[in-house]
Amino acid sequence: MGDGHDHRLHFVQTVRLFADLPEAAQHRVASAAVTRPYQRDERIYGPGDRTGLFIVHRGLVKVYRLTESGNEQLIRLMSPGDFLGETALLADTTTDHFAVALQPSELCVIDRARFTGLLGQHPSVAVQMLRAVSDRLGTAEEMVSALSGKSVRQRLAQQLLHLADEAGGTDFRLPTTKKELASYLGTTAETLSRRLGALQEAGVIRLGPSRRVDILDRQALRRVASA
């Protein structure tokens, strides 16, 4: 088999969705997948498209909807190992949201016919998918609860802690613009900037160029998030 297959196979073996499959089945998944590159700001799919299963191999993908006023409402950010497009795929319908690459990205795509057949042959993939979707629903419920019961300052602190955990350290780069982060947190870019500035003045964080954030006092940030 060629280098392209080996490249896809290595990726398949590291994705939680397929990690427990027998090796022969992993080879079939790799053979069914197509690797596609996307440039920064390139649309992956949009409302009305009939999608297959997209799995992020490299880069970062923004999933969002447009509000009635035409503003973007960020739904989630997808990083390597995450999958998207499953709702329209499993319901055999079209998508109702946008997916756009936030940075140069590479995704593996499996068309719906092949993926549906894979689910029939290997129910463990469906179980893993249900677990991942359940985790997303839990996160969404936490965000809805936060939007209704927590201040912008609390929500921001919670999100900064989450980003630090994902980065594996206290120093990280905001993966989105402040406007997009504000949309996700249910506030305005101006309010977000003020809250970030206040946390910096209090010595809790340090803001750097190119959207860099360094958490100087993690315990203080936790207190803000839980206040």
The secondary structure of the chain as a DSSP string is --HHHHHHHHHHHHSTTTTTS-HHHHHHHHHH-EEEEE-TT-EEE-TT----EEEEEES-EEEEEE-TTS-EEEEEEE-TT-EE-HHHHHHTS--SSEEEESSSEEEEEE-HHHHHHHHHH-HHHHHHHHHHHHHHHHHHHHHHHHHHHS-HHHHHHHHHHHHHHHHTSSEEE-SS-HHHHHHHHTS-HHHHHHHHHHHHHTTSEEE-STTEEEES-HHHHHHHHH-
Identify the residue with better confidence: 111 or 7: 111
Q: Is the dihedral of CA 170, 175, 180, 186 positive or negative?
A: negative
Contact 33, 110 (CB under 8 A): yes
Q: Which of 22-26, 127-131, 165-169, 222-226 has the lowest mean pLDDT?
A: 127-131
Is pTM beyond 0.85? Reply is: no
Tell me the average pLDDT across 44-59.
90
Tell me the average pLDDT across 92-114.
89
CA angle (108, 111, 115) in 5-degree steps: 95
Tell me the average pLDDT across 148-158.
80
Question: What's the pLDDT band for 203 if we cut at 50, 70, 90?
Answer: very high
Model pLDDT, residue 86:
81
Model pLDDT, residue 138:
62
Model pLDDT, residue 132:
73
Cα first-last separation, the chain: 57
pLDDT at 214 over 70: yes
d(CA 224, CA 150): 11
Tell me the average pLDDT across 49-77.
86
Say which residues have a Cβ less than 8 Å from residue 102's Cβ, sequence separation at least 6.
40, 41, 59, 60, 61, 62, 77, 175, 176
d(CA 75, CA 164): 19
Which residues, listed in sequence order, are joined to residue 36 by a DSSP beta bridge?
107
Cα–chain-centroid distance for residue 93? Answer: 22
Looking at every residue in the chain, the average pLDDT score rounds to 84
Can you tell me which residue has the tokens 């299963």?
53
pLDDT in tens, 160-193: 998 888 888 899 999 888 888 887 787 888 999 9
Helices 189-201, 152-167: crossing angle, 10 deg rounding:
70
